[in-house]
């Protein structure tokens, strides 16, 4: 089936909206959170567990899979879906963010980004064309254009030049994957924290035309208020009949505020990475399961949660697993955190359907104030 976005409900009190994205691998209800499966696996989660918690789409990292095991190998083995036993949609990032994170180890030219592998120091040149080739070889359902992620703070001159370069790269990506291809291609709005450059980027990307649009260069160290400001400014510049994705965001609060500003798609390593460090999300805020206070605590992580972990295990057991360095600590903590994120998105979708997003948002913050009573 052709890729499309359908708007189902538009909130009256905010930009929040509920919709569906149709892909050849199934329908995605939005707003949606995408668990991150960097190396062809969402760390600690079996595909069946991801389905159990309601994950509709996952994100995979182009940079990592290109270096190991290699996109050609994955293609030869039937694509990433078959390789990792996941039959729902996959969005692949462009590799840009990881390459730019390498700092001294990379160099940008008009052609692309040359870099040294973090694994073995080998030299590579990642171009828009190669990024497309990799993402197509992986069998991605949603391909992201290859772009430069601008750090914060950055000088206006650099932001303008980088945004212009990313636009030229976006054109080259669209040439490799024309509209109507099996894989959808998303453009990425850059422009740093400069609103006029954001507007220009959004407009020029729409002139090229993409199946969806993302905001890049957010959650890169700026103040939360500034990030919200950028979302608030940039998201309405994007067409209402296309999905909107804010890359690499964020905390539960960020998701609620992102949805309120009109975002449909999110991804972040926060729930999975925090889980492996024993930090767990609950309806009343975060807790650190390693704390001595949980030593003999027979309660579940979150008494308000109905996930597999909260139905079957105590904080005391999870603390024991964590302090003992057991594999199941990561497995169970990840399961809970990702469930929390999935449930949060499902609750927002339900509130939007019931025309009650405003109440949901107020209630979300009210619960956090009960922290000291419940934890």
Residues with catalytic roles: 93, 267
* H or E stretch covering 352: helix 327-353
Shortest Cβ distance from residue 339 to a second copy (Å)?
Answer: 15
Q: Is 326 in the site for a second copy (CB under 8 A)?
A: yes
- Of the pair 77, 125, the CB lying nearest a second copy is at 77
- CA nearest neighbour of 270 among 34, 54, 93, 49: 34
Q: What is the rounded distance in angstroms from the CA atom of residue 75 to the CA atom of residue 16?
A: 38
Q: Which of 24, 76, 109, 291 binds a second copy (CB under 8 A)?
A: 76
Bridge partner residues of 109 (DSSP): none
Q: Is 294 in the site for a second copy (CB under 8 A)?
A: no
Part in contact with a second copy (CB under 8 A); list of ranges 5-13, 94-102, 234-242, 291-299:
291-299
Q: Which of 83, 115, 169, 340 binds a second copy (CB under 8 A)?
A: 83
Shortest Cβ distance from residue 321 to a second copy (Å)?
Answer: 6
Q: What is the rounded distance in angstroms from the CA atom of residue 220 to the CA atom of residue 215?
A: 12
- Of the pair 246, 270, the CB lying nearest a second copy is at 270
Q: Is 206 in the site for a second copy (CB under 8 A)?
A: no
Question: Tokens 């990307």 map to which residue?
Answer: 205
Q: Is 117 in the site for a second copy (CB under 8 A)?
A: no
Site residues for a second copy, 135-154, by CB under 8 A, read none
Strands 123-126, 244-246: pairing kind: unpaired
Q: Which of 137, 331, 348, 352 binds a second copy (CB under 8 A)?
A: 331
Long-range contacts of 160-165 (CB under 8 A, 24+ apart): 160/194, 160/197, 162/190, 162/192, 163/190, 163/191, 163/192, 163/197, 163/200, 163/201, 165/108, 165/110
Q: What is the rounded distance in angstroms from the CA atom of residue 314 to the CA atom of residue 90?
A: 33
Interaction site with a second copy (CB under 8 A): 39-41, 43-46, 68-69, 73, 76-78, 83-85, 295-296, 298, 312-314, 316-317, 319-321, 323-324, 326-328, 330-331
């Amino acid at each position: 089936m052709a890729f499309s976005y359908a708007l189902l409900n538009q909130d009256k009190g905010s930009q929040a909206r509920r919709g569906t994205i149709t892909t050849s691998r199934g329908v995605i209800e939005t707003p949606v959170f995408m668990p991150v499966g960097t190396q062809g696996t969402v760390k600690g989660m079996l595909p069946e567990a991801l389905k159990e918690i309601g994950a509709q789409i996952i994100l995979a990292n182009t940079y990592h899979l290109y270096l190991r095991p290699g996109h050609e190998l994955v293609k030869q083995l039937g694509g990433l879906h078959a390789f990792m036993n996941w039959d729902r949609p996959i969005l692949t990032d462009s590799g840009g963010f990881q390459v730019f994170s390498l700092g001294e180890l990379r160099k940008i030219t008009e052609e692309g980004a040359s870099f040294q592998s973090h694994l073995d120091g080998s030299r590579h040149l990642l171009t828009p064309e190669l990024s497309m080739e990799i993402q197509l070889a992986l069998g991605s359902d949603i391909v992201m254009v290859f772009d430069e992620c601008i750090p914060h703070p950055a000088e206006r001159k650099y932001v303008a030049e980088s945004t212009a370069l990313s636009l030229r790269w976006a054109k080259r990506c669209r040439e490799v994957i024309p509209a109507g291809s099996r894989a959808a291609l998303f453009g990425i709005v850059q422009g740093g924290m400069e609103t006029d450059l954001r507007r220009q980027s959004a407009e020029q990307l729409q002139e090229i035309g993409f199946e969806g649009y993302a905001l890049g260069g957010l959650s890169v160290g700026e103040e939360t208020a500034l990030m919200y400001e950028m979302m608030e400014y940039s998201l309405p510049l994007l067409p209402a009949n296309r999905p909107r994705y804010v890359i690499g965001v964020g905390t539960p609060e960020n998701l609620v505020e992102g949805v309120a500003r009109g975002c449909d798609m999110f991804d972040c390593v926060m729930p999975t990475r925090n889980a492996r460090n024993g930090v767990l999300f609950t309806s009343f805020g975060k807790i650190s399961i390693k704390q001595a206070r949980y030593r003999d605590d027979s309660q579940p992580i979150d008494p308000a949660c109905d996930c597999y972990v909260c139905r079957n295990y105590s904080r005391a057991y999870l603390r024991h697993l964590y302090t003992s360095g057991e594999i199941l600590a990561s497995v169970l903590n990840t399961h809970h955190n990702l469930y929390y994120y999935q449930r949060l998105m499902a609750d927002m979708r339900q509130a939007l359907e019931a025309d009650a997003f405003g109440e949901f948002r107020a209630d979300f913050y009210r619960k956090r104030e009960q922290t000291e009573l419940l934890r």
